[in-house]
Amino acid sequence: MPQLILKADKDFSLLRRHPWIFATSVAQLEGRARGGDTVEVVAHDGKVLGKAAWSPESKICARMWTFDAAETIDDVFFKRRVAAAIAGREVLPGLAQQQGLRLIHAESDGLPGVIADRYGDTIVLALSSAGAEKWRTAIVGALKKATGCRRIYERSDAEVRKFEGMASATGWLLGEGDPQRVIEEHGVKLGVDIATGHKTGFYLDQRDNRLLLRELAQGKRVLNCFCYSGGFSLQALAGGASEVISIDSSGPALAVAANNLLLNPQLTAERAEWRDADVFAELRKLREAEEQFDIIVLDPPKFAPSASHADRASRAYKDINLLGFKLLAPGGLLMTYSCSGGISLELFQKIVAGAALDSGRSARIVKRLQGSADHPVALTFPEGEYLKGLLIQVD
C-alpha cells in the first residue's frame, strides 16, 4: 500500500482525529496512487496513523477513512460504516418516522465526501470526494443492504467536485422512476425534485427549525426571506400565522412553493403571498413602505463557501440582518441563519450584534439554532457544523 509521509509536527490534528490532511502537511508519497486510492498515513517519526483516500487534485489531499492502522478499507468496511450511521439515527427520538431523513452526513459519520438522504422509498446519494467516488459501487450496495431501498438517485453535481478533479454525475444508480417525490413533514406535505432541486432536492437540516416557527406563528405576521420551496412558509401557515409573505429570486422555486401549498388544502391559501424579487431590494422597499412583521426568517444561500470569502460575506450578512431588525415590530422575533462554512458561529453572532446596534434596536438571543439531529457534528470535526442560527427577540 502507498504511504503518505507527513512533515515533522504535522500529525497534531490527526492525533486529535481530524479527518483532513492538507497538501502543505505532506512530505512525500511513497509508492504510486491514483485519485481515490487508499494510502497508509505515516507520521514523520514512522508511526502509522491510519488510512486515507488520496486526492492529488485537491488542497485537502487526503481524507481519513480510519484511524485504526489495522482496519481494512473494503466493501465490508463500507457496509459496516453505512449500517452504523443508519442505526445511530434509529435510536434518536422523532427520526424513525421521518419521510425525509439524512442517512449519512459525510465526515461526521466517518464517511468523508458521502451524503445520503432518504425521501420516502428513494435515496439520493451525493459523492464529493475522490475516495467516495472510488467506492461508489460499495456505497450503493451498502445503502441497499442497510435500508432495503430499491431506488437510489445520484446527485454528485456539487461544485466542490471540480476541486477533486471530477466531473458532475447524476442519474439513477439503482431502479428508476419519477424524480418528483412528495414527503410529509410535521403534517405538511412537501414536493421534492430529486433531479433538479437544491442539494439533494430539499433542505432537511432545517426540519426542527421549521417546526419551531410553526410553534411561534399563531396570529403573527411572518416574512420568510429566501423562501425556496416554502418549507418555513407552510409551517407558519400550519401554525396559524395571520399572514405569510415569502420572497425568493427564483421563479421555479416559487412555483414549487405555490404547488406545495396546493398539496395542503387544510392551509389557508389566502394568507400566503409569494414574491419573485431580489430579497435585499424587496426588504428595502418594505422598509420604505414602513411595513412591520412579528417574525422574520432570514435563511440566505451560502455567502461564504470558504474562509477566503468571509469579508465579503460578512457585509452581506450584516446588510440583510440590519434590514431585518428595522422591519421587526416591537417584541418581534428574528430567525436568522448562516450556512456558510467560512463564517464561524462566533463571527456570525458578532455580525448580527453589529446589525442590531446599527439598527438602534435592543435585542437578545432567545435560542441558538442548528441542524436537525440527523445532521450530527463530530466533536473532532467542527467544520461539520455549517448551519448556524439565532432566534432573536427585539424590544
Helices (H), the chain: 12-15, 75-90, 130-134, 136-147, 207-216, 231-238, 251-262, 279-288, 310-327, 345-359
Q: Report whether 295 contacts 220 (CB < 8 A).
A: yes
Q: Report whether 234 contacts 260 (CB < 8 A).
A: yes
CA-based nearest residue to 118, from 187, 51, 53, 202: 202
Q: List the Cα angle 11/15/18 in 5-degree steps.
A: 90
Q: Choose, from 149, 225, 227, 339, the residue flagged as catalytic.
A: 339
Please tell me the chain's helix, strand, coil percentages from 3-state DSSP, rounded to the nearest 5: 35, 30, 35
DSSP per position, 295-318 = EEEE----S-SSGGGHHHHHHHHH
What is the grid cell recorded at 268? 389557508
* 149 catalytically annotated: no
User: 3-class SS at 141?
Assistant: helix
> Computed over its alpha carbons, how large is the radius of gyration of the chain?
22
Q: Report whether 97 contacts 68 (CB < 8 A).
A: no
Task: Name the residues annotated as catalytic.
Answer: 339
